[in-house]
């Protein structure tokens, strides 16, 4: 379609070293005209500033550029390039630019986000550290099947000793990873460390390999020194850290990635409040739970599967998975998709068909409260995963 902006700067040729974040928007034609994209480009970068206040060359380097606009029966779609100088590798700053004020506009969806190669030069956006292959290498039994994660339910206020018993039971069943509930909030880091040490001691004593994903709530103590905080957890025996990204903040995940080499597991708590898909006034879950998690350095990202009680549509989970795995500049490696919520053994074949083999299946109630023993429930999942993998 023909788009003639009032401010020519937003349509001018982009200059520099290809260091732009490329934000794509989908807007409802019944509510907005194409000038909404000019409003985004100007309003989210320059605002009221013009050559009366700032050198023209400076304005040109800082203004967002409308790269392309397309039109369908019901929607207008555009990609807008936001220069590095405006956000400097800080993903929370970028999120404020691309959708901060726009989140109040009806009929506007942030549908995708991408990064040009120059965005990775500063190493602030480093991506994940661990791959599905490196996690598989932690176990003596080699497998190419998807890995299985169990949720230590219930563990809210469960004693360290009781939780270590539960860990031992599920670890002996062959589950690859177990994670804390995201709603467990200990009264102090010392309490968390005691729990981790109890589990680590049991792991060593019984020669267990199951990885313990620890939820250690981020608070003022943690933020004062993320490196020291995460090092204490690693030294106590934590195998990975669970992060409630959208309650703790996107910057918390990005800064924690810089502070530790432990695997980071991103939990989606609260993300549902920011939208359920492309047709809502929202950020698409593929951006929230895929692109941004990968850019911030999450090794694993949890999201509601299409099969459970709070499932996302299959098309949405496919976009999340694609965002986790798409080819990125600078050889940024993928984030591991972790479909979750209401997963049962009968969903294994569906999950493998939908997500391939390089993912982790996350199950809670179906392992710990199925009516069978934990060992039998876990074994059913594992056998189905291996069976499907061998058939491929």
Encoded tokens for 349:
């074949």
Alpha-carbon distance of 291 to 128, in angstroms, equals 12
- Of 244-253, 304-313, 334-343, 364-373, which range is least confident? 364-373
Alpha-carbon distance of 161 to 173, in angstroms, equals 19
Query: Residues 125-141: pLDDT tens digits?
Result: 999 999 999 999 999 87
| Residue 309 pLDDT level (bands cut at 50, 70, 90) | confident
Average pLDDT in the 343-363 region?
A: 95
Query: Residues 85-137: pLDDT tens digits?
Result: 999 999 999 999 999 999 999 999 999 999 999 999 888 999 999 999 999 99
| pLDDT reported for residue 3 | 56
Instruction: Please give the DSSP secondary-structure letter assigned to residue 185.
Output: -
- The position carrying tokens 């999950």 is 351
Residues with a known catalytic role: 101
Domains present along the chain, CATH in parentheses: 8-120 (3.30.70.150), 132-391 (3.20.20.110)
Average pLDDT in the 224-249 region?
A: 97
Helix (H, G, I), strand (E, B) or coil at 183: coil
Contact criterion met (CB below 8 Å) for 273 and 308: no
Encoded tokens for 334:
């993928």
| pLDDT reported for residue 4 | 58
Residue 180 has pLDDT above 70, yes or no: yes
pTM for the full predicted model: 0.93
| pLDDT reported for residue 319 | 96
| Cα 391 from chain centroid (whole Å) | 30
């Amino acid at each position: 379609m023909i788009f003639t902006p009032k401010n020519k700067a937003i349509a001018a040729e982009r200059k520099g070293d290809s260091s732009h974040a490329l934000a794509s928007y989908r807007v409802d034609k019944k509510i907005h005209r194409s000038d909404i994209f000019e409003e985004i480009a100007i309003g989210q970068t320059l605002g009221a500033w013009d050559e009366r206040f700032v050198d023209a060359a400076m304005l040109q380097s800082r203004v967002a550029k409308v790269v392309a606009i397309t039109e369908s029966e019901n929607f207008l779609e555009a990609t807008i390039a936001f220069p590095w100088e405006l956000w400097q590798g800080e993903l929370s700053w970028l999120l404020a630019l691309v959708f901060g004020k726009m989140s109040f506009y009806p009929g506007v969806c942030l549908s995708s986000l991408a990064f040009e190669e120059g965005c990775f030069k500063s190493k602030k956006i480093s991506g994940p550290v661990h791959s599905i292959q490196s996690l598989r290498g932690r176990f003596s039994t080699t497998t190419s099947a998807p890995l299985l994660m169990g949720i230590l339910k219930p563990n809210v206020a469960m004693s360290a000793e009781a939780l270590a018993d539960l860990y031992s039971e599920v670890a002996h069943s062959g589950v690859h990873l177990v994670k804390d509930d995201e709603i467990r909030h200990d009264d102090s880091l010392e309490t968390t460390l005691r729990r981790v040490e109890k589990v680590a001691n049991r792991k060593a004593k019984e020669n267990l390999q199951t990885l313990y994903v620890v939820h250690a709530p981020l608070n003022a103590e943690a933020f004062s020194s993320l490196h020291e905080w995460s090092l204490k957890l690693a030294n106590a025996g934590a195998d990975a850290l669970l992060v409630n990204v959208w309650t703790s903040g996107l910057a918390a995940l990005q800064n924690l990635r810089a502070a530790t080499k432990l695997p980071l597991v991103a939990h989606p708590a609260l993300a549902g409040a920011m939208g359920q898909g492309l047709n809502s006034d929202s950020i698409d879950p593929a951006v929230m739970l895929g692109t941004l998690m990968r850019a911030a350095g999450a090794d694993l990202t949890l999201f509601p599967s299409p099969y459970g009680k709070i499932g996302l549509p299959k098309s949405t989970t496919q976009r999340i998975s694609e965002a986790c795995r798409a080819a990125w500049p600078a050889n940024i490696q993928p984030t591991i998709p972790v479909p979750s919520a209401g997963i049962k053994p009968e969903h294994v074949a569906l999950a493998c068909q939908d997500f391939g083999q390089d993912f982790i299946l996350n199950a809670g109630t179906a392992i710990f409260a199925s009516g069978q023993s934990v060992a039998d429930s876990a074994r059913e999942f594992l056998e189905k995963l291996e069976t499907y993998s061998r058939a491929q």
